[in-house]
Structure 1
Amino acid sequence: MWLIVTEKDNTARRIAGILFGRVKVRKIDGVNVYFSQDEKNAVVGLKGHIVELDYPKEYNNWSKVPLKSLLKADLVKKVKARNIAKALSQLAQKAERVTIATDYDREGELIGVEALEIIKKANPSVKADRAKYSAITPQEIKKAFSSTTKINFNLAKAAETRQIVDLMWGALLTRLLSLSSGRLGKDFLSVGRVQSPTLRFIVEREREIQQFKPTPYWEIFAEFENGEKFSAKHVKRFLKKEEAEEAFSRIGDRAVVKKYVEKDVSERRPIPFNTTEFLREAGKFMAPDKAMSIAENLYMNGYISYPRTDNTVYPPSLNLKAIVSKFLNSEFKAEAEIALSHMKPSRGKKETKDHPPIHPVEVASRKDLSKDEWRIYELVVRRFLATLAPDAVWAVRQAEIDASGEIFKATGKQLVNPGWRAIYVYYKAEESFLPGLHEGQTLKVLSKKIEEKKTKPPGRYTMSSIIKLMEKYNLGTKSTRHEILRKLYSRGYIRGNPLKPTEVAFAVIDALKKEAEVITLPDMTAKLEEDMDRIEEGKQDQKAVVNESAKFLEEVLENVNEEELGKTIREGVRKDRVVGKCPECGNDLEIRKARGRFIGCTSYPECRFTLPLPQKGRLEVTARKCDKHDMSILRIRPSKGKSWTFCPYCSYIEWKGRDGQSQG
């Protein structure tokens, strides 16, 4: 029998349908197996990793296990999907050949190798090969399975090394912070190899914003006329009001055009989508982890290519014209015609050989997809077509105007040929007006004004900008960056978008910077990413990389002052529980626990003011304040259903009013 192993069940179903035509579905140990009619071929889907690395159970007691021992422990492999492992073992006994058809990247290769080890244990003589594909379409799948290759064990080894190192870092640092601060059980503080430097970027940007002192400056604007009115700005930004007023007083009622230029300027079309660029764009209207999850579903259902890729250059083997032509009978007809009129692809700086940039492979209609699926699918389609379209062309006019020795500049922009902009509608075309002028022309000064302004602090990172920054510093990979951000949210370190760190985040980063700063720097993490590449290339040994991490973490433990670390974190945790000031005594109100959670005054027992809280759901303190009571708005995230926000004081007053009415 020929056994094919895919990463997920729906991929197995689709591949079986493409390869076998009519399919028999049978359950083995509760797992769907898709057979050809003669039962000589079978496809089975996994659930991602069915095996996981972990510490032996004797390491489970955080309080009793010495932290250093985590660095020398022999990790164990645990089967976490026993029914799938049993099904693989049973199928293996009849298999003569097994083809690993998991996603072709590091994680996918490791997932496939894990499954192969289970199969080989049941049938050591089975022959194994690899099918590589970037889209689940009949043409691509048939081609992949007719030209299988060898399994890349170095690729899997690189992914396994990452697992080992991340487990070691995560276990040691999480226990270090949690034990030193007394945050155990459900309240443990989680940190990791990539989380820590990423969180430091967010915290330090917030600190820049908090410490920023705005500087006043003055700008001069004037309105001119040559038959048509237009505005211009003085070339100088004045840091002293007196200088601005002196310049302002010199401006008379006439001005002369000193320089004037008209030119057409091309605006290059965007580059093809790799994972980072895709998540940056999708992150403008959706959480990156959600966008990736949807993209993966679209891929598995045969609508788009594999969404985890570093590539920004379409390979010559990709028939771009054939893909575009499919959209001539869709609601993207007009956009496809623009692309077909040009058909010269843009290209980015990154070119890899594993997968092409993300692109559509099949036409879908709105009724085929959910609302969110359509948004992601439309983004991918429009980006793909835009990369093949003509550049946009702007008619640009620039003028330099002399008003009694004071120089003003004005620019006009008109979009004369939208090109790719007619397709990729996510960037607004900002036009500005400037009439046709000529050098030496006299203009009438219609009005003038001085505006006082202040310098602004740097903006907070958005989902899009932090992913770009992570890529710049080699933090994480295309496949993990969105997951790191999700962890920072779920563990209460950041809120909102733009990203705002909580007091716990400040405390953790401040404590680590003081006691173990190297953990918060991107250097070691970036080096590890380079080591993974070398393992993949067969130029680096896994054991050497793991030992280097263990030695690094051992030095951290030797130099850290756990008492000071815990003290700093506890203070930050306390601040994060504060929701406002007590209306009776003016001291802090904070979230407390005693037979349930409630809000109490920090001056208890002198002050006994309290507010009730919902007892179910995860409670979060948001950055917003109630307009009436200057109290933090709280959010409840229930285990099921939508989250909701409330002011605890407003809710209490409302409840008290209702209670009073019912008693009356």
Structure 2
Amino acid sequence: MLQMSTRKGSTDIHEFDGMFLGFHAHFKVTSVIGHVFSVDFPATYQDWKVTDPFDLFLAPIVKSESNPKFRYLTSCFPFFFCSFSLVLMYVSVSYGPCQTPTLGFCVQRYLQINTFKPEKFWTLRPYIIQDGYELQLEWERNKLFEFDVATMFQQLVMEDGILEVTEISEKQESKSRPPGLNTVNLLKTLLASGYHKPKSGTDAGDHPPITPMRSATEDMLGKDAWKLYQYVCQHFLGTVSPDCKYLRTSVGFLIAGESFHCTGQHVTVEGFTSIMPWLAVSERRLPRFTKGEKIESAKVELYEGKTMPPDYLSESELISLMEKNGVGTDASIPVHINNICERNYVQVHAGRKLVPTSLGITLIRGYQCIDPDLCLPDIRSFIEQQITLVAKGQMDHSRVVLHVLQQFKQKYSYFVKKIENMDELFEAQFSPLADSGRTLSKCGKCLRYMKYISMQPSRLYCGTCEEVYYLPQKGTIKLYKELSCPLDNFELLIFSMPGPEGKSFPLCPYCYNSPPFEGVDTLFGAVKTGASGQLGKGAGMPCFLCPHPTCRHSLIAQGVCACPECSGTLVLDPVSAPKWRLYCNMCNCLVFLPQGAHRISTTRERCPECDSTILEVDFNKKTTPLDNGATLHVGCILCDELLHSLVEMKHGKSFSKRMGSRGRGRGAGRGRGRGGGKRVDPKMSFRDF
């Protein structure tokens, strides 16, 4: 017979001797209140002024009992995130493996709302009267987004006027009783009912399912506690009650070749819904119909609606997302939500809706522009999977620890190298520069206007997407005729360099900062800075370097011929009228075209002798060199004697620096993300393991 001793305390500890895997063992059994152990770095690593953050990834961690009075002798799995979280704190960036994805869910919903573009739609709603009931029928097409097409269908249905019953089906269905109540589901129910999280208290752990232990009255418990007790009792009785069963009836109709239907529901067994009426199936009785029966339509409405964006996340919805993605535990989920509220990343608005603040949005956007993995629950999920495998004996504990620490060290190294991207977002959002910027062009992602900040380095800032787009420096920027890039829908800009001989060229803000084609080895303004050799701010790909095959602003469309002084291409300056000219997209060569012409444009034709692009010139009537007062002339500036005699080559100003050899630009580049060969991921993504 086993002899057991019990030591009383905050939680009782029971001790006894027994056998474990064939060996004698001394057992200690207890329950857990919160975390058994806390972890930290040793005292020698606590001074941030003298500690290299990279050393922390190899530093030991000190485990101490959260409450020494418990005197636990169990072991605790190392806390992988300790190093990474504290190291990011060192660089003044708040990060937590559960906190950051929690905030990420709120920001993601915010962006969905702010980038949502509502659309009008139309749907047909025929009405019939049967046995004294007026029924609205549902259209199988649901909705249409073309008014003319919807009107055509309405006219066809109204002209027919007779609906035929084509199908009658009945199906027995059931609504399953709820599972046992745990703290997460209880918390979601309380928040959905308008209850607030407690401001303080002690976490007593979670032992699902939550069940009533004794009978009580409202006088014994008080008003709020009685409501909670009543819900727990109802939920418990619901879990041991039968499922709710109901009969679903569907009737199909046909008129003018269009299908409609109506649906009814009749409860046959209330089951658990008699105890939990808020989960009851709504009754909807249908009159009797006979297959083949023909019924005259009473009226046919054409309903106009508009698509609506989703609402901000409620606390209950956020808890569901966290639970689904494995972020936090039953006990810690409310803590993570409370943290993002207390740190002013999120504010709770009417209806318990969580609306991220500018600080929270900028923080998440900063992480996303450096390493999107940090905002996703994938990292936490990966670690939990590894811990589970260790618990099952399928993975070696020490190898998992070493592997994960290497991943986090690599991610931290990448983060530090790109930290200036975070600085740029915070500067654009919270510095006075953001207020002084003027509205200039539309963002292709959210279709909202971006602000142009002229102070060096000049840039565009989208307050909705929290994105910064650097522009060419030392020149003027204007909107280019409200034209848009065919790749990303960003509005095009025209950059003009100073002086009478300065270049002017169009650019897409997004393509300029993120060239969409591989193989573009020349960047405008590409001056390397610092020992790292990184490109200076403002270097990018204007349209005159873009190899897009069909865009009318690209090098393919506007390039005319090879530059006589380098391996670049002479490109038509689109806004140089009436002093039309070509400029080289690599060097400072300028070629002046016939002056005073009304219009000069490139064509799709190429010269059969030199392969240059054929130009179309519309001369001024008063100064035309053509016979009989003709004004329109088409030809090659190299091979056509008239045009060649009217061009003049001259040098102008240019800050372009060639970074490598390149042909005339007629070869097709490759799109974003299609690079050949295996690449090393500098961020060490957890997703592909």
* TM-score, with length taken from structure 2: 0.53
Secondary structure of 1:157's match? Answer: coil
Aligned to 1:255: 163
Aligned to 2:377: 522
Structure 1 residue 361 corresponds to structure 2 residue 265: no
Structure 1 residue 233 corresponds to structure 2 residue 138: yes
* Maintained 8 Å contact 1:190/1:491: no
**Percent same amino acid at aligned positions?**
22
The residue identity in structure 1 corresponding to 2:260 is F
Please report how far the alpha carbon of residue 543 of structure 1 lies from its aligned counterpart in structure 2 after TM superposition.
4.2
The residue identity in structure 1 corresponding to 2:41 is Y
Aligned to 1:307: 206
Aligned to 1:167: 82
Q: How does 1:58-73 map to 2 (within 5 A)?
A: 58-73=44-59
Please report how far the alpha carbon of residue 539 of structure 1 lies from its aligned counterpart in structure 2 after TM superposition.
4.9
Among 194, 209, 217, which residue is 2:113 paired with?
209
CA distance in 1, matches of 2:31, 2:303: 65
* Maintained 8 Å contact 2:245/2:267: yes
Please report how far the alpha carbon of residue 175 of structure 1 lies from its aligned counterpart in structure 2 after TM superposition.
2.6
Please report how far the alpha carbon of residue 450 of structure 1 lies from its aligned counterpart in structure 2 after TM superposition.
0.7
Please report how far the alpha carbon of residue 542 of structure 1 lies from its aligned counterpart in structure 2 after TM superposition.
4.7
Secondary structure of 1:358's match? Answer: coil
CA distance in 2, matches of 1:200, 1:286: 24
Structure 1 residue 564 corresponds to structure 2 residue 567: no
Q: How does 1:479-494 map to 2 (within 5 A)?
A: 479-494=331-346
| 1:172-198 Cα distance to aligned partner (Å, 9 max, x none) | 22233x1xxxxxxxxxx5321122223
Change (3 A) 1:269 1:509: same
Among 208, 225, 239, which residue is 1:373 paired with?
225
* Maintained 8 Å contact 2:312/2:353: yes
CA distance in 1, matches of 2:50, 2:398: 27
Structure 1 residue 505 corresponds to structure 2 residue 508: no
Q: How does 1:271-290 map to 2 (within 5 A)?
A: 271-285=179-193, 290=198
Secondary structure of 1:218's match? Answer: strand
Among 456, 476, 484, which residue is 2:328 paired with?
476
The one of the two structures with greater contact order (alpha-carbon pairs below 8 A, sep at least 6) is 1
Aligned to 1:116: 72
* Maintained 8 Å contact 1:157/1:536: no
Change (3 A) 1:56 1:419: same
The residue identity in structure 1 corresponding to 2:407 is F
Q: How does 1:91-490 map to 2 (within 5 A)?
A: 112=70, 115-116=71-72, 153=74, 156-158=75-77, 161=78, 164-176=79-91, 178=92, 190-228=94-132, 229-236=134-141, 237-250=143-156, 251=158, 252-285=160-193, 290=198, 307-309=206-208, 357-427=209-279, 429-490=281-342
* Maintained 8 Å contact 1:6/1:45: no
Task: Write 1 or 2 for the structure with the bigger share of strand.
Answer: 2
CA distance in 2, matches of 1:275, 1:46: 16
CA distance in 2, matches of 1:480, 1:255: 57
Secondary structure of 1:257's match? Answer: strand
CA distance in 2, matches of 1:278, 1:53: 30
Aligned to 1:536: 391
Secondary structure of 1:410's match? Answer: strand
Please report how far the alpha carbon of residue 419 of structure 1 lies from its aligned counterpart in structure 2 after TM superposition.
1.5
Please report how far the alpha carbon of residue 360 of structure 1 lies from its aligned counterpart in structure 2 after TM superposition.
2.4
Secondary structure of 2:80's match? Answer: helix
CA distance in 2, matches of 1:484, 1:287: 18
Change (3 A) 1:535 1:203: same
Change (3 A) 1:435 1:52: same
* Maintained 8 Å contact 1:392/1:419: yes
| 1:110-158 Cα distance to aligned partner (Å, 9 max, x none) | xx5xx235xxxxxxxxxxxxxxxxxxxxxxxxxxxxxxxxxxx4xx423
Please report how far the alpha carbon of residue 231 of structure 1 lies from its aligned counterpart in structure 2 after TM superposition.
1.5
Aligned to 2:479: none
Aligned to 1:547: 402
Please report how far the alpha carbon of residue 457 of structure 1 lies from its aligned counterpart in structure 2 after TM superposition.
2.4
Change (3 A) 1:465 1:444: same
The residue identity in structure 2 corresponding to 1:248 is Q
Please report how far the alpha carbon of residue 421 of structure 1 lies from its aligned counterpart in structure 2 after TM superposition.
0.8
* Maintained 8 Å contact 1:157/1:535: no
* Maintained 8 Å contact 2:362/2:426: yes
Secondary structure of 1:394's match? Answer: strand
| 1:544-593 Cα distance to aligned partner (Å, 9 max, x none) | 44433332222123222223322323444569x99xx99xxx99xxxxxx
* Maintained 8 Å contact 1:507/1:571: no
CA distance in 2, matches of 1:207, 1:361: 46
Structure number with larger C-alpha Rg:
2
* Maintained 8 Å contact 1:157/1:542: no
Deviates more, 1:549-558 or 1:216-225: 549-558
Please report how far the alpha carbon of residue 213 of structure 1 lies from its aligned counterpart in structure 2 after TM superposition.
1.2
CA RMSD of aligned residues (A): 3.8
Please report how far the alpha carbon of residue 418 of structure 1 lies from its aligned counterpart in structure 2 after TM superposition.
2.0
The residue identity in structure 1 corresponding to 2:7 is I
Aligned to 2:510: none
Change (3 A) 1:232 1:556: same
CA distance in 1, matches of 2:5, 2:370: 56
| 1:196-227 Cα distance to aligned partner (Å, 9 max, x none) | 22322322222122111122211111221123
CA distance in 2, matches of 1:61, 1:358: 45
The residue identity in structure 2 corresponding to 1:558 is S
| 1:509-529 Cα distance to aligned partner (Å, 9 max, x none) | 111122233322332211211
CA distance in 2, matches of 1:478, 1:49: 13
* TM-score, with length taken from structure 1: 0.55
Aligned to 1:137: none
CA distance in 2, matches of 1:512, 1:5: 48
Please report how far the alpha carbon of residue 4 of structure 1 lies from its aligned counterpart in structure 2 after TM superposition.
1.8
Secondary structure of 2:310's match? Answer: coil
CA distance in 2, matches of 1:484, 1:456: 30
The residue identity in structure 2 corresponding to 1:385 is L
* Maintained 8 Å contact 2:34/2:331: no
CA distance in 2, matches of 1:48, 1:6: 15
* Maintained 8 Å contact 1:463/1:499: yes
Secondary structure of 1:68's match? Answer: helix
Unaligned stretches of 5+ residues in structure 2: 15-28, 440-689
Aligned to 2:648: none
* Maintained 8 Å contact 1:400/1:407: yes
| 1:63-117 Cα distance to aligned partner (Å, 9 max, x none) | 5533223323333355776xxx5xx5xxxxxxxxxxxxxxxxxxxxxxx5xx235
Structure 1 residue 4 corresponds to structure 2 residue 42: no
